[in-house]
Structure formats: structure tokens, C-alpha cells
A and B are shown apart, each in its own frame.
Chain A
Amino acid sequence: MKTGFWNDVAYLARRYPLGVAGAIIMTVFVLAAIFAGTVAPLDPFTTNPKASLAKPGGTYLMGADMMGRDVFSRMIHGARISLAVSIGATFLGSGLGAALGLASGYIGGMFDLLVQRVAEIMQSLPLLVMALVITASLGPSLPNTIIAIAIPLIPNVARVIRSNVLSLREMPFVEAAKATGMSEFRIAVVHVLPNTLAPLIVLATAQLGSTILTEASLSFLGLGVPEPWPSWGRMLSESAAEYVRTAPWLVIFPGLAISLIVFGTNLLGDALRDALDPRQRD
């Protein structure tokens, strides 16, 4: 039996072709975002009155918007903002949520009670309203947008992880770990947390799509990442109402990009969840 990293990768790739598809989609988007300056054929900010609402084709691969800016170039530059916001907010929100859920479920008692009531209060507010209030008080900027979108995610993740931890905490292997003299903290991190990874990955991939859309709504209200930086969400929401009939390409392409990235993360997430569980191997 050969072992080694590349061997494992090749094996996993054969076993999860859909996961590979997801990984390829993600890689393409991430590379486009990183090398946006060289990949984009035109400047995303240059306006051209003559090309206002130009149809796709020719110079404007995906058409041009009302101000004559190239949609394709704006899409590629928009990937930066959209990916930074969605991945950043998902990681931040899921990370904090998982930590809080783990602590809440494992420590229990008054601490658990308190955390859960605060989570309930947060969950009773719509995600957008909370994000709105947070950006309004922090001011619009990229990091603030990420924070504003991440915070409302925390209670959802915390509750799911907590319920998982509640059952894991009673597992015999936790008691066995105590009998070996491990500290409670180490048991929580080494034995309990990794066993909650499956629901965490599913939850995080599901949330990635919604964070892109939340960012769109915030930008539409002027509270997201400030103009003139393009983001897919804003490109979509700005043009949806006005141009969906006259210039559908303004809506279709950003919409397609959002769908594709959500699809890609879900494929990758499902494959990751299975690949990380030793019981699913061999």
C-alpha cells in the first residue's frame, strides 16, 4: 500500500468527482479574484457614454452597464469583494459560533443558559436588520461589512454546535478521556470539537451563499462596500428592478456567478465532510 499526500489526493479525487468539480469552480473564482488586474480585459471603473447598455459580444464580452462600464471586467473585480466578504464572514461567523457553541454545550449550567438566551434574542432579529444596524454604527468599509455579516451568523452556528456537543459530552469516549487524566479543555478541543465538524461544514457552506446576498442588500442600501468597487450582489440588485427586461445581461451574469459559487462550495463542502470522516473511508 502506497501512502503519501499526493496519493491520498488522487484517491480522494477518484472517490469524490463532484467534490473535484466544486474545487475547480472555487479555484477559478479565487484565481480570477487574485489576478483580477491582469485577467480583466478593461478597466472596471472607466465609463463610456457611447457604450451605455451595450449588448454582450465584441469588446464587451458580457455587455456594458448603463454607464458603459464593462460587465465582464466588473464581474472579475467584483469577485474580490464578493469572495472576501462571503468567505471572510462565513469563517469568522462559523469560527466564533463554533467556539461559543462548544463552550456553551460543554460547560453547561448558568453559562449555557445565558449564551442561549442571548442567541435567542439575536435570532429574533432578521439577519439583514442586524447587519444594517452594525454597519450603520461601524461605517461602510470592507472589514466592517464582513463583521456586520458575520455577527448575525454566530447564534445559528452556536446553537447547532451546542446541541451536538450536548450529545457528544455524554459519549463513553469522553468519560474514557477523563479517566486518562486529560483536562476538560483538552477533551473539549481534541475529542469533542472534531466530532462536530460534519454539521459545521454543512452549515458553513449553506451560509456562504446567503452572505453574498446579504452583502448585496447592504450595498444596495449604501451600507456595504462603498462605490465604485463592484460586488456581484450590488451589480445584481442595482440593475434587477430597472433593466431586467431591457438589458437582462446585467442581471443574468452576476446572478450566474453567485449561483455557481454557491453550487461550488456546496459540492466541495459535501465532499470535504465525507473525506474528513475516517468512517467513510476505505
Chain B
Amino acid sequence: MAPVLEVSNLSTVFHTRRGLVRAVQNVSFSVNAGETLAIVGESGCGKTITALSLLRLIPMPPGEIVSGSVKVDGTDLLKLSDAEMRRARGKQIAMIFQEPMTALNPLLTIGRQIAEMVTLHDGLGRKAARDRAVEMLNHVKIPEPERRAREYPHQMSGGMRQRAMIAMALACKPKVLVADEPTTALDVTIQAQILDLIGDLRREFGTAVVLITHDLGVVAETANRVVVMYAGRKVEEAPVGEVFANPKHPYMTGLMSSIPRVASARGLTGVDATARLTEIPGIVPPLINLPPGCAFSPRCTRSEAQCTTTLPELELKAPDHLAACWRA
């Protein structure tokens, strides 16, 4: 099966007053229809810029996508004209955002906002577009979709608005859905519902999902593959089970040991239940002034001389398991 979304060597920079900020460097990945790829990493490691680059929503200037390709079903989005790109957004590749509270226009009804999008891409009439909006609200399991379509965003809860956002994003049956931290602003029970919903719709419509998150729990539950990013680069990629069972990059190991485990906290596994969580010391380095070697080396417990001078390439460390580390 050929992948629906194929991103290769994507690099995005920002021209700022203080110099060139390399927000995304040589990132490649691909997603098959009906699969979910999770991109994980700390704040400031380039996840969101990667997501925005896929839809070419980077403000230009100061941003610029300097190289690479983003192919959806073989068509390189980066080569399209602005008008063609507008037609592709929503139809080929759609996005849902972190903030369901402010990502909907407060002055338009939910139904109208979904219908707007359908009219735009599928050229349906008013009645047909409205019916599609109601149908989509039904799809995302909003009760009484007829009535809800006539309501305004402020009349809905956060979870329901995020469902409405998903309904809008999927209304034109895009091939790729980019979800930028779709559950971060929601409480835990609603998070699970939204993730289940995205999973169901992905299987139903065969959408390829790119899930941006910093929540490893979310990754373990929903993703098929994982890309770990650090300081604008992909540092590790593997199927989800492999990453959690056998993390190669010290950054991923660090991330994993910094989250509490219910089992060990209860002392069920025989692990020391009172053990402190370990943290990764330091913060993501400013992207404007990266060290010459591995960007993670200043924070890495296993770093040696080579790490601070030469950048490690991505290599196969195990079958289907890429990592960029000298020590792995």
C-alpha cells in the first residue's frame, strides 16, 4: 500500500531579527491510509511548525519552507500555486487545533461554519450543505444534531466544540487529518472520548492521521507509528510498540522515565514504589544557536566527546527502528 502522506526532508526556517531560526530540519515521515502517526516532543521542539508546514500555514514572511516535499497521494503540496493550495486545504488535508474554545467563530452557528466549508469545496447548495453539516455532527456523536447545528459555539462545552471542529475538518472527507494537540485543552474523560472518535472516523473514512502531542499516554493508545522530535529534528522513529518497549534515543528514554506509572506507583511490579520520577535536566536549546553536535548532548547523561562535535545521522538501530544517536 502506497502511503497517503509522504513528507521528505521538510525544512522550515524563520528569518528573525536575531538570525535564522531553523524550526524544522530535514524531517521525513509517511502515513498510510487509516493509520495514525504521532509526533512527540517537548514544547518548542518543532511539532506545531511541522504541522503548520504540512498545510503551508506558516506566516511568510518571516517563515519560509526552504526544502523538502509534502506529497498527498503523490501531489507535492509545496509545488502548488496559492489558489491550488487553498483548494487542497480542507479537501486533501485538514487540520484541527488545540483550542476548541477560540477556533470557532463566535458569531456564526456551528451548522453554518461546517456548511461554509462544504459549499467551498464540494459546491453544494445551501440546503445540501446544511444537511451534510447535520450529518457530520451526527457522525461525531453530537446528540440532537439538528438542534445543535443551529446553536452558537458559546452554547457548547469544550468537548462538544472539539467534536464540532472534527466534524468540520472531516466534512469534505480529506485524505489527511493533522491534529495539533487536539485533547490538550480538554479534561481527561473527554480526552478519551475525542481520541476514540478520531480513531473511529479514521478507520471509517480511511483518513491518514498525523497526531501532534506531548502526551505519551495518548501516543500509546492511539498511534501506529511514532516520530520523536527534538530541536527541530527527527531523532527517532519506530512502530509504537517498539518505541515503548525498546526506546533507542536517550531523549525518548528520558521522556518515558519522566511520566508516572500507575503499576509501579502501586508497587504491583515489584519496582520500588517510592522511587522518584526522573526528569530530563535543562530545557530545549534555543533553535537560533544550536550546538554543533547532537542538540541533545548538553542534557544527555550518556553524552561523550563525539556527541558534542559531530551530528549523528539517522540510522537503523533495529528492524524498522530509526534513531539518531552515537550511543544507541
Q: Taking beta carbons and an 8 Å cutoff, which residues of A are in contact with B?
A: 171-173, 175-183, 190-191, 194-195, 277-279, 282
Contact = CB atoms under 8 A, between A and B. Distances in A.
Given A171-B102, A195-B105, A279-B106, A176 B97 contact: yes
9 contacts: A172-B99, A178-B57, A179-B89, A179-B94, A179-B95, A182-B86, A182-B120, A195-B105, A277-B107
Given A171-B102, A173-B102, 4 more contacts: A173-B106, A179-B55, A180-B116, A278-B106
Interface of B: 55, 57, 86-91, 94-95, 97, 99, 102-108, 116-117, 120-121, 152, 154-155, 165, 168-169
A194 B107 contact: yes
A217 B159 CA distance: 58
A107 to B, nearest CB: 14
A85 to B, nearest CB: 32
From A173, A178, A182, A183, residue with most partner B Cβ within 10 Å: A173
B94 to A, nearest CB: 7
B95 A181 contact: no
B89 A180 contact: yes
A130 B169 CA distance: 51
Given A179-B57, A190-B116, A172 B88 contact: no
Contact of B107 (A180, A181, A278): A278
Contacts of A178: 57, 89
Nearest to A168: B105
Contacts of B108: 190-191, 194
A169 to B, nearest CB: 11
A220 to B, nearest CB: 43
Contacts of A181: 86-91, 117, 120-121
Nearest to A279: B154
A230 B219 CA distance: 77
B97 A175 contact: yes
Nearest to B98: A172
Nearest to A171: B102
Nearest to A281: B152
B102 A172 contact: yes
Contacts, number: 69
A180 B94 contact: yes
Contacts of B89: 178-181
B106 to A, nearest CB: 6
Contacts of B55: 179
A191 B108 CA distance: 8
Contacts of B87: 181
A194 B154 CA distance: 16
Nearest to A109: B61
A172 B120 contact: no
Nearest to B151: A278
Contacts of A179: 55, 57, 89-90, 94-95, 97, 169
Contacts of B57: 175, 178-179
Contacts of B90: 179-181
B154 A278 contact: yes
A112 to B, nearest CB: 15
A180 B168 contact: yes
A17 B94 CA distance: 46
A183 B89 CA distance: 11
B303 to A, nearest CB: 38
A183 B88 CA distance: 12
Given A179-B94, A180-B168, A173 B88 contact: no
A271 to B, nearest CB: 17
Which 7 A-B pairs have CB atoms at the shortest separation, nearest pair first? A181-B89, A181-B90, A180-B90, A278-B152, A179-B95, A172-B103, A176-B103
A179 B120 CA distance: 12
A183 B81 CA distance: 13
Nearest to A187: B105
Nearest to B61: A109
B216 to A, nearest CB: 25
Given A180-B168, A278-B154, A195 B86 contact: no
B155 A282 contact: yes
A85 B4 CA distance: 62
Contacts of A176: 95, 97, 103-104, 165
Given A195-B106, A278-B106, A180 B152 contact: no
Contacts of A277: 107
A173 B86 contact: no
Contacts of B88: 181
From A181, A190, A191, residue with most partner B Cβ within 10 Å: A181
Contacts of A180: 89-90, 94, 116-117, 120, 168-169
Nearest to B94: A179
Contacts of A194: 107-108
Given A172-B97, A175-B97, A278-B152, A183 B105 contact: no
From A173, A178, A179, A195, residue with most partner B Cβ within 10 Å: A179
Nearest to A282: B155
A176 B103 CA distance: 6
A239 B241 CA distance: 91
A279 B151 CA distance: 11
A29 B155 CA distance: 39
